Amino acid sequence: MKTITLGRTNLQVPVIAVGCMRLNSLDKKGAERFVKTALDLGANFFDHADVYGGGSCESLFADASASYPRDKMFLQSKCGIRPGVAFDFSKEHILASVDGILKRLKTEYLDTLLLHRPDALVEPEEVAAAFDALHNSGKVRNFGVSNQNPFQIQLLQKFVNQPILVNQLQLSVTNANMISVGLHVNMLDDAAVNRDSSVLDFCRLNDITIQAWSPFQFGFFEGVFLGDEKFSKLNAKIREIAEKYGMSDTTIALAWILRHPARIQPVTGTMNEKRLVDCAKAAEVALSRDEWYAIYLSAGNILP
């Protein structure tokens, strides 16, 4: 598995992260096979969150990975969502959440902790105090955020002593506004609407690794575009390029994200072992400029 540098560190991590949001759809045997497949592929970066399965995904992962050395895995989790109640970046909630995560994962530390979606009532001084406590105690080694714009990150970084290394954002060829807005500068069409304060460029300028969640989804969890008749042109183009490389459609769809020079780290969501293998193969494909743009345009995106 090829690697990338995580943020402003010397850490080399797999170019593809394995998302564990749906791990509780498997039984223990299935989860064990899934984890083994990932590790055999060199995909040892596992992405969790305390809300995934109400914590059951983390617990199941701990049991499924129990036979593997902790230092052979890179474990990331997220906190800050109280489902149906609030987003909560208070010091008390962050500290309690991490303790729960560590207990469920049966580990003494997280490699990375992300704040999961912005909290409108965030007090960055409290976040800083929580991060200091977690870092000084050894419970969390690195920090990041999810779904935050440049100004939200800058506000946190003004107070937080540790560097923000990661920003997890939705990105697929059908949800590519962060890319499209850079192509439609000074235009009057819909694609020119800047919905994220140029977060892609900001992260590149500040050496923040973008982790692309839902890399195969369209809309907001509306479905997977692969095989969907609503995206017939996109699927035909992906199939054409996949046949050229002797790869699956899944591989080419993920290779489209990896081709971007921002060195984006996609987070897979599949629990299917064969599809995970196809995802890992994306690291072996380097699409040409013409192929990348052809896929982009076939998804309904336009050039000015």
What is the chain's mean pLDDT, rounded? 98
- Residue 221 is predicted with a pLDDT of 85
Within a domain: residue 303? no
Q: Is the pTM of this model over 0.85?
A: yes
For residue 228, is pLDDT > 90? yes
Q: What is the mean pLDDT of residues 157-177?
A: 98
| For range 135-142, the mean pLDDT | 98
- Cα–Cα distances (Å) from 123 to 155, 208, 236, in that order, read 10, 22, 48
Give me the phi and psi of 96, to 5 degrees please: -65, -40
pLDDT surpassing 90 at residue 65: yes
Number of domains in the chain: 1
Percentage of residues of the chain with pLDDT beyond 70: 100
CATH number for position 27: 3.20.20.100
- Specify if 304 maps to a domain: no
Q: What's residue 5's pLDDT? A: 98
pLDDT category at 246 given cuts 50, 70, 90 is very high
Percent of the chain with pLDDT over 90: 99
pLDDT in tens, 192-204: 999 999 999 999 9
Question: Is 215 within the bounds of a domain?
Answer: yes
Domain residues for 278? Answer: 3-298
Span 7-39, pLDDT tens digits: 999 999 999 999 999 999 999 999 999 999 999
Supply the pLDDT for residue 112. Answer: 98
Judge whether 21 and 13 are in contact, CB under 8 Å. no
Q: Does the residue 210 lie in any domain?
A: yes
**Is 68 noted as a catalytic residue in this protein?**
no
Asked, for residue 88, whether it belongs to a domain, the answer is yes
Question: One-letter amino acid identity for 303?
Answer: L
User: Which residues in 122-141 are b (16+ Cβ under 10 Å) and which e?
Assistant: beeebbbbbbeebbeeebbb
Span 193-216, mean pLDDT?
97
Residue 87 lies in a domain: yes
Is residue 223, in this structure, part of any structural domain at all? yes
Are 78 and 108 spatial neighbours (Cβ–Cβ below 8 Å)? no
Statement: residue 141 has pLDDT above 90: yes
Mean pLDDT score, 237-245:
98
Catalytic residue among 52, 68, 109, 245: 52
- The alpha carbon torsion through 231, 233, 239, 245 (nearest 10 deg) reads -120
Does 209 map to a domain?
A: yes
